[in-house]
Amino acid sequence: MKPRVVITGMGTINPCGLDVETTWDNIVNGRTGIGPITLFDPSPLNVHIAAEVKGFDPANYMEGKEARRRDRFAQFAIAATVQAVNQARLKIDESSADDVGVVVGTAVGGLHSWFECVETYLTQGPRRMNPFTMTMIIADSASAQVAIIVGARGPNFAPVSACAAGADGIGMAYELILRGEVPAMICGGSEATVTGLGIASFDRLGAMTRENDNPTTACRPFSKDRSGLVMGEGAAMLVIETLEHALARGVEPLAELIGYGCTCDAFHISAPLEDGSGAAKAMKQALKHADLQPSDVDFISAHGTATSLNDPMETRAIKTVFGERAYKIPVSGTKSMTGHMMGATGALEALLCVQAIRTGRVPPTINLRVPDPDCDLDYVPSVARDVPVRIAMSNAFGFGGHNSVLILQRYEE
């Protein structure tokens, strides 16, 4: 019999809050984190808005010298980890260090540091480059730095699966526990792509909205008048462990992680399969892994990017898996408030699923005022809803055809 895996701690730094409580309050009340870009001068770009993390001070989590040697995405991951570990009351010492692993997913890693390094190289020469450049830009720097901070010597990975990376971070950690590698994992995703390079790259793809004058309403998942995604940043981290391990420590679980599915479309580097078959297979895989039927699911946290390719595809995938029941399941698109946090987004949305399970409320999809006939499910428009959620599904899809799905359940003794 496979062990039960429970969530005992959560932490987040994101555009809607610098902790779980503030984030949830803003999300369920439909308050957006999207606004004008302040991290740099966006005037040369077509896009002047983003979902930035606001008010974050790394000094609250690390010494100034260490902060300067870590990219913004690693700083976010460390801060979210500290919150999660504190909530879980997870003490890591010499006797337990080998029993705790770390997985932090990301799409691009240290983009801020990479961009600054290239600018320095071109304008001032290689001798002026930061000597810590390489350790700041590599994609595993967040997972490595988290392990160093907490002293976790178990398995350590940094899945790079585009916008599915945060969900894969949790899914990989879950499978390591099921395999008996370790009894506990710190896992999630982190990203900091709000840079000139990040914004310009996505804009050139034609994926981003240019509604600079209306940032609060610019991101409209599942709406007929959608105009593209808004880039976000941040991190979300969870502490997951076997139920036996948690109870032995005297910790009450927040929720249970019961399923994970991942597939690849093997179709196109940036476009999903239009019929949603790849995403549907990942959902079915997760349900099978959790030993559930489609009728068991009470809530779906959608990937919902507000792009013309993703929204109809995800809607078709949900219909493929759930049939007529698809019309009865509330589906939330929280990127309407958080923006698209790339490799961190799947982890944050899993965290929000835990909150929905614990509070009996599901978040709204704000700005959904013009129904799209191709997106005709119950997307919880505008206002949060009281729903008794026992089983929640969280979808995350990424460039390259990555499809990753997590299933979470209310914890019951």
Cα 312 vs. chain centroid, distance in angstroms? 21
What is the phi/psi pair of residue 259, to 5°?
-155, 150
Between CA 34 and CA 53 the distance in angstroms is: 9
Is the torsion defined by CA of 348, 350, 354, 355 positive or negative? positive
Tokens of 284: 């079915």
* Catalytic residue flag (residue 289): no
- Taking alpha carbons only, the member of 285, 276, 286 closest to residue 316 is 276
For residue 205, what is the enclosing H or E element?
helix 196-205
Between CA 71 and CA 219 the distance in angstroms is: 27
Q: Is the distance from CB of 163 to CB of 396 less than 8 angstroms?
A: yes
Between CA 343 and CA 341 the distance in angstroms is: 6
* Catalytic residue flag (residue 187): no
Catalytic residue among 16, 303, 353, 402: 303
Length of the chain: 413
Between CA 189 and CA 232 the distance in angstroms is: 13
Catalytic residue among 245, 289, 340, 402: 340
Look up tokens 């540091």; give the residue: 113
Catalytic residue among 16, 163, 219, 262: 163
- Taking alpha carbons only, the member of 397, 386, 407, 106 closest to residue 265 is 397
Tokens of 51: 């979902």
CA atoms within 13 A of residue 397's CA, in its CB half-sphere:
34
In one-letter notation, the amino acid at residue 140 is D
Please, where are the H alpha helices in 20-137?
20-28, 64-68, 72-88, 111-124, 133-137
Which residues are part of the catalytic machinery?
Answer: 163, 303, 340
